[in-house]
Amino acid sequence: MKQCILHVGMPKTGTSAIQESLYYGLADPAFRYIGLGQVNHAAAMAALFGDTPEKSHVHRRMGRSAQQVAQYRVQLLHKLDKHLATADADVQSILSAEYCWGMRGTQYERIREFMAERGYTVRVIAYVRSWKEWLESCFQQRIKAGDLSSFQVSPANHSKIDYRERIETLESVFGSEHVQVYKYDPSTFPEGCVVRHFCQQAGIHFDAGRIRRANDSLKLPAIQLLYAYRKFGPGHGTGATAAQDAWLNQRLRELRGPALRFHSSTVEPVISNVLPQIPWLEQRLGLPFTEDLARYDQGACIRTESDLFDFDPAVLAWLAAATHSRLARPAAGEDAARAVAAQMHTLRRSVPARVRMRRLVRGAIARLRRWRV
């Protein structure tokens, strides 16, 4: 049988770098990144195998109706069937969607059966990240994506951090011999690169010069400004554009400072029920999985929402200069956060014409690529 590699993430384990590198740079003739006109196959996997795909966050964020999702599914089936039918027997196809990490076993079964009907076995590759690191990274991502307007450390889908349950579900559906799971730890990767590690484990020969980096993390001062805007800003969710969001994140990357860290007392209640998995995970992964939860407790770390509203005066001065407005006062508390939100709205709407045009061109190219697939 032919083989399809299903890369399921988990989220925040270098998935975007892997996807972009393979989508734009894969040249090994023994592998093919499935062409659905998308770098990330999340929307496709939700539409094809989700229980109620029109309710999935990926389609809700795109504003698709149930009818539009159904039409999209028909188009996807045609494209995917065409790819699978025409792929050579000795060429491994690749699908990548961190969305799949949170799927139920019945959805995995649909994927397995769908591929089997077309003569394919499925080989799963997944990464898991230390819990505290993952919660910090995911919290930041949800703020950037506009999915978080209140202080919530725990993920909406708690099964995402139940690593043993996730791994055992994948193994029960696809077979343990077809499931490869690795700890996301750049210190153990070739030259610290997750793309190199993924390609090495998959058997892909990949030109290092074509690797794409996708680290767009923000520092704590930037996260504080953005959180205040998500909570109190008048613009979010009322006519926001992708160009404005991209511009805002670009400006916020100018800010230096410590990384976002949670205090151990904030994290422990969230992960206490999964900590007993550590011995099992260490045996399964062959690497230490214990994490020092209190490592950053003496530094600038977040315990409660009020800590996010304690702004550095120098950062407030930067924001005032960037928006040609008065310095927000006081420098802490909800009143300060509301003032910050108003200034952030001004900054968000100040996208230069050249940036808007560049994004329009990129969008047109992406639509053309999807149309040609």
Q: How far is CA 329 from CA 38, 76, 234, 254, 359, in A?
A: 45, 52, 19, 22, 35
Does the domain at 2-215 match CATH 3.40.50.300? Answer given as yes
Question: What are the CB-based long-range contacts (under 8 Å, 24+) for 356-365?
Answer: 356/243, 359/242, 359/243, 359/246
Integer CA distances (angstroms), 92 to 6, 121, 123, 139, in order? 10, 10, 10, 35
Write down the residue that tokens 């030109």 correspond to.
Answer: 207
Secondary structure tally for the chain: helices H, strands E: 16, 5
Buried b (16+ CB within 10 A) or exposed e, 245-272: bbbbeebbeebebebbbbbbebbeebbe
- Say if residues 114 and 273 touch (Cβ distance below 8 Å): no
Q: What phi-psi label fits residue 255: left (phi over 0), alpha (psi between -120 and 50 degrees) or beta?
A: beta
Question: What's the pLDDT tens digit per position in 334-359?
Answer: 999 999 999 999 999 888 766 555 55
Distance CA 151, CA 307 (A): 11
Q: What is the pLDDT of residues 148-167, one digit of tens each?
A: 767 989 988 888 999 999 99
Which tokens belong to 83? Answer: 């790819």
CA distance 3 to 32: 11
CA dihedral 260, 9, 100, 365 (to 10 degrees): 90
Candidates 74, 128, 90; CA nearest to 277 is: 128
Residue 333 has which token pair? 């508390």
Tell me what pLDDT residue 171 has.
98
pLDDT of residue 164: 97
pLDDT at 58: 74
Q: What is the pLDDT of residue 238?
A: 42
> Is 94:34 a contact under the CB 8 Å cutoff?
yes
Dihedral angle, C-alpha 35, 41, 47, 52, nearest 10 °: 170
Q: What is the mean pLDDT of each run of 10 residues along the chain (373 residues)?
A: 96 94 96 90 91 74 79 91 93 96 96 97 97 95 80 87 97 98 96 97 96 86 95 61 80 95 96 96 95 94 96 96 90 94 91 63 52 47
* Domain segments of the chain as ranges: 2-215, 220-260+302-358
User: How far is 242 from 101, CA to CA, in rounded Å?
Assistant: 26
Q: Give 160-172 as a DSSP string.
A: GG-HHHHHHHHHH
In the block, tokens 């898991």 appear at: 128
Other beta carbons within 10 angstroms of residue 218's beta carbon come to 21
Q: pTM for the complete prediction? A: 0.88
Task: Supply 372's token pair.
Answer: 């040609």
